[in-house]
Structure 1
Amino acid sequence: MLTSIKRVILLVIAANVMLLGCQKDKFDEYYGRPDSLADPIYQQLVAKGNFTSFIKLIDKASYKDILSKSGYWTLFAPNDEAFQLYFQENGITNADAVSKELAEKIVKYALVFNAFKTDRISDYQSSLGWVPNVAYKRRTAYYDGFYKEVVNGQERVVFSSNRNNSLSSLGTPYYVDGDNNNKFIPYFHEKYMTAAGLTAADYNYFYPNQTYTGFNVGAGSVKTADILAENGVIHEVTSVNVPLPSIDQYLASKPEYSLFKSILDKYLVTYQRNELATRRYRILTGSTEDVFIKVYHPALAFSPNNENFLKVMDNDGQADGYSMFVPTNAVLQDFINNVILEHYPSLDALPTYILTDLINAHMWQTTVWPSKFNASINLLEEEARFNPNTNIVDKKMLSNGIFYGTNKVQEANTFYSVYSAPYLNPAFTLMTRALNEEYRRIINNLRIRFTLFMMSDQVLKAKGFDFDGTRNEWVYVSPATGVRVSGPVARLRLQRILYNHIVATPNNELNNLSGSGIIRTGDRDIPGEYIKWNNNTVFAAGNEDLGNIVNITGFEDTRNGRVYYTDNILEFSERSIGLELAALAAPVGSEFRRFFDYLNSSPLYNRTTGAINGVALGTSYTLLIPNNASIAAAVTAGLLPASATSTNALDIERVSSFIRYHILVRNTVAPDGNQNITSTETLFRNINDEIVTVRINNQLNNLSFSGQNNNRTARVINGPSNNLADRALIHLVDNYLDYR
């Protein structure tokens, strides 16, 4: 009986073994490694026979196991010929003499995450999908990690910032734990080069002794591309690529740029202890030391030690990098002495914004190729103002961008325009702050000429203006009444005054103030108010009201215009246009008198405030005042009643229409010949409630206006005209305009 049971058990076992064997065969058939699948990367290198030195380095770096298993890599593998050249150039006997540390660097830097054949090597792997032909770098397996650095005389464990601190305002930290700051390896594929408008000359600019082949990696070329392996793709290359330094590392290694680096280190770099990095370091090493992140100032265009580019998308470092142009010590020192420190005793005394502008003038958040200097814009919105043939003394393709050593300083607008006068002078900090809020971009353009009237801190404070740093707002206290306003009200008041001090002068119109004249402030696109000059004094409407003038105490010329130093400010008028006209009409025999009589009796006019119905605050106007003889002619023509005080409804309407037709809206026109407007609307509307316009003929000292529906022309009488008012000019003219 027992024997029978044993026989049954054996039969069951045998059946199970057969069943399991059949299942395994089916499993292997479905899931097993196909016979046609290529060997892994390591085995492929061994089989090829011309990677013996590289294989020894892989073994020494302990990467044999990794490259023999499943994965998804791209390997830029140097062949034996490449290593022979490398050993010869670096005094190394053979692969056996290579240290483990160097072997790890070479192997890891040759190894790129993800497998890219040539059909994808030039494509950017964006989070939204592939972007063809815009990539020239890939992230490698190599990173520097933690390192030691002496900070303020004490050795620290340091990790480089792996994000740009300038993006902190967007919620991005300067350090992300777990991001190793992996280095990128650059390559130059013909698809990318063609799409970017680059040629072999761009490649040879960095590698002058190499031949551009259409697919180069660093200083070598790809001899055999697309060697497929089970765990990725191999590209055989003719050079050994060691990890390139970052811009930060390269700058630190070159004493000829030590002045530039010292400015960064002293004023624009901090070392911030980081708990996450510290915890990670202690786990890895068993050390009790703290870790400090090397952080660059957030106002800089980028952090030169960040290997990750902008990180707007995870892989954006594939498609772009940074560029830095760094002047040698001698030329930078000369610039500092003669430009930056003209009014400051030392770099220590400079406001931080001057230092960040100086550095940002030399930093680009993009790859600036040698043939694209004029087309690459930095954070200050300026192109690279260097000649690639004569101004570049050093050029290096680096892991996170391009480094150019220069024999000149970037000639940034900030340091050469009229804006530089207040900006680089501590006596004008309030004016600089006000310009930065509104008008810096206007006057900081070397292609447009300006005249700038300066307002010192002393003068502005005497006029009641100041900035409250604790509340971060402007303050104005009226010198006349003691009334205090702050915030937007004070700011708008100051900005309006400031714009009186900016004048576009394309033909140097204000380089000689010994005579007299009138000119509109502002630039070509944003017109300001009119100011006048007379015998080296200037004044605006408010100065006329207050009975003061602005004296010129000195000047200097910049590349885009002249700067005048003054003892006062150009103030706007706070008196209504009607009261200005009343003052013009007051003297006995005034040619403004008869027109004002009609206005004064009209319901359009408020005798107390001087307000004219329809004349709104903040709008520009030109008032055409027919002289007394012209008013008499208008009475004869039936446009006006004989009596200015007539109470007849028809007479009142005729007076209102006449007055409105002589008030031009939205344009302040002077006989300067500079304005290209040929017509403008008036306050008058016809019976269909349509705006009625007048035509303008503006030539220098010959300004005339003609009505829309007739040929009557009124010419400005220059002597008594050009009277300044609140955003307005009041002209005396030799004729009336017929609104009918």
Structure 2
Amino acid sequence: MSKILPKFLIVGLTFIFFLSSCRKKEFDDFYGRPENLGDPIYQQLQAKGNFSKFLDCIDKAGYKETLSAAGSWTVFAPTDEAFASYLKDNNLTEVSADLASKIVRYAMIYDGEKVERLSDFFSVKGFIKNSAFRRRSVYYDFVYDGKDNNGNAIKVIAANRNGSYLATDFNNKNITYFLSPYMTFNGLSAADYNFFYPNSAYNGNNIGAARLIDGQQNIVAENGVIHVIDRVLTPPQSIDQYINEKPDYSIFKGLLDKFVTYSLNIDISHRYEVLSGKAANVYAKTYSTLLAFSPNNENYLKVDANDAQQGSYSIFAPTNAAVNAYAQNVLLKYWKKKGVNNLNDLYVVAPDVIKDFVNSHLFTTTVWPSKFATTPNALNDFTTRVAADVVDKQALSNGFLYGINKAQNANVFATVYGNVNLDPDYSVMKQALIYFGLIPALKTPTLRYVVVMIPDVTLRRMGFNYDPFYASAPIRGDLVALKRILQTHIIALGDREIPNFSTGSGILEASNGEYVKYAAGKLISAGTQDSVAVAKQSIPVDSISTTPVNGVAVYGKEALTYTVLNIGKHIEKYGTLTTDPYYYFFQLLNNNIIYTKATGVIQGTVEGVNYTVFIPTNSAIMQAVKDGILPGNVTTGIPTTAPTDGLDVTKVSKFLLYHIINKNTIASDGQKIGQFETLMKNDGGDAAKITVAINTTTSLMLRDVIGRTANVLLNPADRSNVLSNRTVIHQINNYLKYQF
């Protein structure tokens, strides 16, 4: 028994050893370091023998261990020749520890990527081909010396979000590259690259001002990938850092500073003390969310964790001379009469103007040099600047900067809305336009308008005002009435020429479908023409501003009001006497079941809806009698204006309703032609139609359902283009015949 046991143990131990050896081999085969995997980045650079200066920087920066150990890095490694050029160009004999740290940390980006993958955006959903031109480097700025809004010296750290700071984010700078897959896919060329780097040759393998050296790309290491470059790269400044150090932009910087706040950050204050050994309060410098982005934010939108790979900011920074010129000619043009002579004072009384001016120069997307005309800014404008206006260009860490010698002429200032926006005498009108959402169209340069200006003094006299202390309802007064009045003062021009308001005459449709007439330097609306005082029946045009890029602003001292009378009352005005042009039509209407005499309401019309009334002449109505269309004496043509027979009453009501177009106002302005529904309907509820066959400023012809025509009488002595309640009334030389 004693002899058997040792033999058994020997066999068992041999089996266990053999089994363990097999398992170790399997483990090593699966998890072990592959034989064909290169050494770590640091050791490979050592072995190549042409990176002594870069390795020296790695040592000084304290990154030897990092680049010799496990990890996943992409390293853009400059050669010794690149360092020799760098030292010569910068009059240096050696690289300091601080500079070494900047060079090394900026040369390292997170995740080991081959060149073929660098143009792909690594999104949360996976790689998106040819949509990336940047990667996050290891380098970030920390606490720096700055000044608060009162000029006091403080310790500052830059915001790492738009409008806020997160202590868990290091605000890493991004390295920008210009690789063929991205450039070609996005329609970019050497010109886009050389705009920023005129002294570097473009070959589609450019990393900032450097180039990837042929045959020395995609060097796979145990802990990442090495790409050899021909220049030493240092971290570029952020937009905020660059503008703050350039005196040429000091005025624009001063405007940016008005949107800056400094907030004490306890976490960073503690971290600073631990790292520096010095106790100090550290303040996060954040820009207001009123601006499109924070110029010191090194991240992008952070909708996706890595979205800075595919997007960056852009800024068109106007020089001091450009800001001053624009301020004097545009921003302060109307404010000078109020004693406001500089932008600081303007910010106090009209901060929204300064906000819009600043934002008009900010772009939340990458504006490539070849894409100026197609990339909208924060106000959704396209830049008015061209390459010839650019006096400075920088590819910075968080976006492109273009220094310009002419300020952006923003649509909020350059269009017809600009006249309201910038003139303090029209502040109530401005706030009301904003409140009612009427601004977007007016500030669109491709949409042409006439805006008739309403002074504050006029609106206040009418009972309207603006009070910002009532946040939910800052516009005081009858809002329904005010909106209707404002819409009457907005006239779309389309492709028409600007009317000759000084000596010409005509009729124009306002944005609410009502019409305004002009003649010999005066404006007329349905409300003004109803005024008892003759002097109030029209508004004299005091002046006209033709500077807007999309139309004109017309100035007067009164408002174009609407009438409170119903349509029938305006027909009655010209239909009471036997000699009146609307006499027979009104008599038929006045005695018909569709009409309410007391109010002037015509059955089928609805408050708030637009109409057009075509009134046949008295002789045309007499012809309708002779033709049996209307009741009356078929020999003389004298109509029976108050028939008692039911069929005759129906004949009259149908005749009247067929001469009223429903839901549309039509005037002799050359704008509307085609088929339109009338108020007359058949038993099935289908509306009878009239066709406007010709419409010019001198001719308006109609056609009924059986092809008969009628012309609107447009001579001055005739009663056409008469303004009523959301309605235009015309006289026609023939009656219109319906048929069902």
TM-score, scaled relative to structure 2: 0.91
- Larger mean Cα displacement after TM superposition, 372-381 or 15-24: 15-24
Judging changes above 3 Å, is the alpha-carbon distance between structure 1 residues 295 and 656 closer, same or farther for their aligned structure 2 residues? same
Judging changes above 3 Å, is the alpha-carbon distance between structure 1 residues 128 and 19 closer, same or farther for their aligned structure 2 residues? closer
Counterpart pick for 2:317 among 320, 326, 345: 326
TM-score, scaled relative to structure 1: 0.91
The match for 1:504 is 492
**Amino acid across the alignment from 2:526:** A
The structural deviation recorded for 1:577 is 1.3
The structural deviation recorded for 1:99 is 1.6
The structural deviation recorded for 1:369 is 1.2
The match for 1:72 is 72
The separation in 1 between residues aligned to 2:326 and 2:667, in whole angstroms, is 43
Aligned residue runs from structure 1 range 317-466, under 5 A: 317-344=308-335, 345=340, 346-347=342-343, 348-350=345-347, 351-388=350-387, 390-437=388-435, 438-466=437-465
The separation in 2 between residues aligned to 1:587 and 1:77, in whole angstroms, is 99
The match for 1:670 is 667
Aligned residue runs from structure 1 range 38-437, under 5 A: 38-93=38-93, 97-151=94-148, 152-165=150-163, 174-223=164-213, 224-265=216-257, 267-282=258-273, 284-285=275-276, 288-344=279-335, 345=340, 346-347=342-343, 348-350=345-347, 351-388=350-387, 390-437=388-435
Counterpart pick for 1:703 among 700, 709, 716: 700
The match for 2:545 is 556
Deviations 1:77-112 (A, max 9, x none): 11111111111111121xxx3221111111110101
- Percent identity between matched residues is 40
The match for 1:537 is 522
The structural deviation recorded for 1:331 is 2.1
**Amino acid across the alignment from 2:573:** A
The structural deviation recorded for 1:180 is 1.0
Aligned residue runs from structure 1 range 635-650, under 5 A: 635-642=625-632, 643-650=640-647
Judging changes above 3 Å, is the alpha-carbon distance between structure 1 residues 679 and 8 closer, same or farther for their aligned structure 2 residues? closer
Judging changes above 3 Å, is the alpha-carbon distance between structure 1 residues 382 and 40 closer, same or farther for their aligned structure 2 residues? same
The structural deviation recorded for 1:154 is 1.7
- Larger mean Cα displacement after TM superposition, 288-297 or 462-471: 288-297
The separation in 2 between residues aligned to 1:199 and 1:509, in whole angstroms, is 42
The structural deviation recorded for 1:18 is 7.9
- Larger mean Cα displacement after TM superposition, 377-386 or 442-451: 442-451
The structural deviation recorded for 1:279 is 5.0
Judging changes above 3 Å, is the alpha-carbon distance between structure 1 residues 52 and 568 closer, same or farther for their aligned structure 2 residues? same
The separation in 1 between residues aligned to 2:352 and 2:282, in whole angstroms, is 29
The separation in 2 between residues aligned to 1:607 and 1:435, in whole angstroms, is 37
The separation in 1 between residues aligned to 2:101 and 2:510, in whole angstroms, is 66
- Larger mean Cα displacement after TM superposition, 615-624 or 20-29: 20-29
**Amino acid across the alignment from 1:706:** R
The separation in 2 between residues aligned to 1:288 and 1:57, in whole angstroms, is 30
The structural deviation recorded for 1:529 is 1.5
The match for 1:728 is 727
The separation in 1 between residues aligned to 2:353 and 2:662, in whole angstroms, is 42
The separation in 2 between residues aligned to 1:14 and 1:148, in whole angstroms, is 70
**Amino acid across the alignment from 1:408:** K
Number of equivalenced pairs = 711
CA contact (8 A) 2:121 2:310 kept: yes
CA contact (8 A) 2:42 2:64 kept: yes
Unmatched segments (≥5 aa) in structure 2:
633-639
The separation in 2 between residues aligned to 1:708 and 1:82, in whole angstroms, is 86
Judging changes above 3 Å, is the alpha-carbon distance between structure 1 residues 530 and 320 closer, same or farther for their aligned structure 2 residues? same
**Amino acid across the alignment from 2:542:** T
The separation in 2 between residues aligned to 1:249 and 1:79, in whole angstroms, is 29
The structural deviation recorded for 1:285 is 4.8
Deviations 1:33-58 (A, max 9, x none): 22222111111111111111101111
The separation in 2 between residues aligned to 1:476 and 1:653, in whole angstroms, is 48
CA contact (8 A) 2:545 2:552 kept: yes
CA contact (8 A) 2:513 2:664 kept: no
Counterpart pick for 2:680 among 670, 681, 684: 684
Judging changes above 3 Å, is the alpha-carbon distance between structure 1 residues 707 and 18 closer, same or farther for their aligned structure 2 residues? closer
- SS of 1:393's partner is strand
Judging changes above 3 Å, is the alpha-carbon distance between structure 1 residues 63 and 516 closer, same or farther for their aligned structure 2 residues? same
The separation in 1 between residues aligned to 2:622 and 2:268, in whole angstroms, is 89
Residue 517 (1) aligns with residue 518 (2): no
CA contact (8 A) 1:624 1:662 kept: yes
- Larger mean Cα displacement after TM superposition, 639-648 or 620-629: 639-648
The separation in 2 between residues aligned to 1:650 and 1:517, in whole angstroms, is 42
